[in-house]
Amino acid sequence: MTWVCPKCERELKSEKQTHYCAKVNLDTLFKGKSDELLLTFDKLLLFVADWDDVAISTTPNCVVFVHDQTFLVVKPMKATLDVKFYSTSPLAGLVPYKSLIYSGRYANHFRVSKLEDLTPIMFKYIRESYELL
C-alpha cells in the first residue's frame, strides 16, 4: 500500500519515507530540450508505464520509477538522458557510461540521446531491474 504526500503528491511507500518534497511538472524537466530527447523519454515511459504497481514521480532533476523501491531513474541533461537502473551483477552485452555498487546492487548509468540508443537488451535489463525488488 502506498501513501501520497499531500504537499508534492508523490506516491511513497510510507508516510515516514524521506523524499524531496516539491511539486515538479514533467514539462519543466524537458524545457529547452530537443524533440528527439523528449521522444526518447516517451519511449521509455511507454515501455514501463503499464507494469504493475509502478509509481512515477518527478523531482527537480529527474523522473523516478518505483516498484517497492526505485528501479529506474531518468535525468534529462542538456543533450542526453542519464538512464540509471540496477542489476545484481555486471551487465553482459551492454557497456554502461558508469556503474557503481550501491546497497549491494550495481547502479548502471547510460547516456541516451536518440531513439536508436534504446536497444532491446537495455529494455531487458530495465525489466530485470523492476523484477529485482
According to DSSP, the residues that pair with 74 across neighbouring strands are 63, 83
Residue 10 lies in a domain: no
pTM: 0.86
Q: 119 is in which domain, residue-wise?
A: 24-131
Residue 91 DSSP symbol: P
Considering the domain boundaries, does residue 49 fall inside one? yes
- Domain membership of residue 89 (yes or no) is yes
Of 65-74, 79-88, 110-119, 123-132, where does mean pLDDT reach its minimum? 65-74
Please name the amino acid found at residue 65: F
Question: Is 113 among the domain residues?
Answer: yes
**First CA to last CA across the chain, in angstroms?**
15
- CB environment 27-46: b (16+ within 10 A), e (fewer): eebbeebeeebeebbeebee
Q: Considering the domain boundaries, does residue 9 fall inside one?
A: no
Q: Going by C-beta distance under 8 Å and a sequence separation of 6 or more, which residues neighbour residue 19?
A: 5, 8, 10, 12
Average pLDDT, the chain: 89
123 lies in some domain: yes
- The pLDDT tens digits of the residues spanning 92-123 come to 989 899 999 988 899 999 999 999 999 999 99
6 in a structural domain: no
Give the chain's domain count.
1
Q: Where are the beta strands (DSSP E) in the chain?
A: 3-4, 11-12, 55-58, 63-67, 69-76, 81-87, 98-102, 105-112
Which uninterrupted H or E stretch holds 131? Answer: helix 120-131
**Residue 18 falls within a domain, yes or no?**
no
